[in-house]
Amino acid sequence: MGVGGNFWDLLKPHARTEGFDFLRNKRVAVDLSFWIVQHETAIKASVRSPHLRLTFFRTITLFAKFGAFPVFVIDGTPSPLKSKARIARFFRLSGIDTHDLPRVEDRISVDRNSKFAKCVKECVELLELFGVPVLEAKGEAEALCAELNRKGFVDACITADSDAFLFGAKCVIKSFHPNSKEPLECYFMSDIEAALGLKRKHLIAISLLVGNDHDLNGMQGVGLDTAVRFVQDYTEDDILNKLHVIGKEDNTSLQGGQSSDTNSRKDREEKEKKKQENWRLRVCNKIAMEPNFPSSELIQMYLCDNHSYFSDDDLILSWESPKTEILIDFLVFHLRWEPSYIRQRLLPMLSTIFLREMANNPIQTLLYDQYEFDSILREKIRYGHPFYVVKWKRAIPVLDNVVYEGYSEGLGTGPEDAIDVDEPVDLTDEFDSPKIHIQEGCSFLLTDENMDLVQAAYPEQTAKFLQEKEVKRQKTPTTTPPSEASGKSDSLKAKGAQLSITEFYRATKTQQQTAETTDLPNEGEETSTEKRKASSSSTLSKSVRRRLLFD
């Protein structure tokens, strides 16, 4: 998608991999069509409404895990050039002769097929229930994403369409993989300029030469390496004008991009210079032989400054609270998910929004009108990134003392729905579901939260946790001498000696005797024996427990 000739391979060496906090508290424009198209190749098995599933989980991930403020952009009416390119691509893949295609001058405009339009409509309805802004572009969604980025309304764009650089994007996130240390693959226009000497108009010239979404063929006989080398000989202000000159004038009068003074150079330098001039003239020959090159309509489209139906002064981006109950009904209808399952998966996003509101205007006291902040349980490192594990207490008592993980069968669809996802494209990875902790008749939820956000929302509780952590650290001895009761076995371990087979595989009876003599667990923790008793005492299935907690 975007510029032809494996353009992304040219930019790949200059990409940055960014961590979880890169998008925190930043606005990001998302090309929604890119997500919907991606699910067709990412999900191999037959599943119900994969476009809705993908949009649901990725939106929660952007909010909860990355802390971003997403703005979704959808395509408008495709340009006549894009419509012709789609027809040509379809005929080419079908093996049909393309000589009888309608001309661009006929102003043919073909809307997307009804199935794709239905997917877009359903995703927009889902996003509006999430409370996130959705904008419609006049033409291409990546064009409006780039415009928002260029004008400072958003900090980055999420799209795999390299045309975004041609429309003026400054930061493009090509892909993100939530379950990794550096999940974001980012491309900055400033890095491309510094490394390759290519600016926006240079990239437009390259797309004209090698092809793009609006002109699949480009210049015959000109590849990406040749195009890059050619445009680098000219400044950004001169390159597009130079293409116009080359396309209109006789190729015998063409000159290179640099003047040469061979009188003062050696023969070898003169030959090399002549070789470069001949190469440049051969490229110019190919350009001059192409009729109607370059396309003024394409250049105007890429340089256009308004790809929306609103003015800059009228644009107000706002994020509202999700319409939770209507959202649950929507997903029950389209995806056949249980309401309790949907509530559980929504909780990370709801807790993030709640903590933001508490940090800015602490009016509400209950998360999801059911859970109150109890304490910070501990710190947690996941994929090299630190989180606070926050304990939320529910006032309504529950049945039994039990600790169990959240429902996590499949990928958000329940045990009956199995899917296969390509490794390079992590599209349906769910956000970690909250753990459920039930103790002494009280129900608790354990969620992973950003440390700075918890600090801003609950500064006193955070200070108390850090103080207790420091006291505990000071009480913990740096080195523990071996106990006399451990005898020879412990002394051998301290010296790094090899253990005997009986010491390495200790008998079960010995382990039970040792466990009986150990200290009592800390407050809020349970022994393994207690957990087994709790688990055995509860005959309820996971789905039933989840319904009792979230319904």
Q: How far is C-alpha 181 from the geometric centre of its chain's CA atoms?
A: 13
pLDDT given at position 266: 72
Q: What pLDDT score was predicted for residue 404?
A: 39
Cis peptide before 481 (omega within 30 of 0): no
As a residue count, the chain comes to 551
pLDDT at 495 over 60: no
- Express each pLDDT in 150-180 by its tens digit: 999 999 999 999 999 999 999 999 988 888 8
Q: What is the per-residue pLDDT for 107?
A: 41
Tokens of 475: 């009480």
Residue 293 to residue 243: CA distance in whole angstroms: 8
**pLDDT of residue 378 exceeding 60:** yes
Q: Mean pLDDT over residues 363-367, rounded?
A: 80
In angstroms, the CA 38 to CA 426 distance is 10
The band of 517, judged by pLDDT with boundaries at 50, 70 and 90, is: very low
Instruction: Encode pLDDT of 253-309 as tens digits.
Output: 444 444 444 455 677 788 888 888 899 899 998 888 888 889 898 999 999 989 998
**What average pLDDT does the chain have?**
78
Domains of the chain (ranges; CATH) run 7-98+108-251+270-303 (3.40.50.1010), 338-398+431-474 (no CATH)
Q: Which of 57-71, 264-278, 501-515 has the highest mean pLDDT?
A: 57-71
**30-34, 93-97, 426-430, 547-551: which has the highest mean pLDDT?**
30-34
| Phi, psi (rounded to 5 degrees) for 397 | -70, 155
pLDDT at 545 over 50: yes
| Mean pLDDT of the region 515-519 | 45
Per-residue confidence band for 31, with pLDDT thresholds at 50, 70 and 90: very high
Least confident stretch, 321-325, 350-354, 497-501: 497-501
Burial of 444 (0-12, 13-18, 19+ CB in 10 A): buried
CA 393 – CA 396 distance, rounded (Å):
9
Return the structure tokens found at 520: 């009592």
Question: For the residues of 159-184, what is the DSSP string, one character each?
Answer: -S-THHHHTT-SEEEEEE-SSSSS-E
CA-angle at 319, arms to 360 and 171, nearest 5°: 100
User: Mean pLDDT over residues 369-382, rounded?
Assistant: 90
pLDDT level of residue 367 (50, 70, 90 thresholds): confident
Q: How far apart are CA 209 and CA 224, in angstroms?
A: 8
Contacts of 160 (CB under 8 A, 6+ apart): 1, 2, 31, 34, 38, 174, 175
Which H, E and C letters describe 274-338, residue by residue? HHHHHHHHHHHHHHHHCCCCCCHHHHHHHHCCCCECCCCCCCCCCCCCCCHHHHHHHHHHHHCCC
What tens digit of pLDDT does each residue of 433-456 get?
A: 777 777 777 888 899 999 999 999
Cβ count within 10 A of residue 139: 18
Q: What is the pLDDT of residues 212-261, one digit of tens each?
A: 888 877 888 899 999 999 999 999 999 999 999 998 765 544 444 444 44
**Nearest one of 87, 93, 88 to 113, comparing CA atoms:** 87
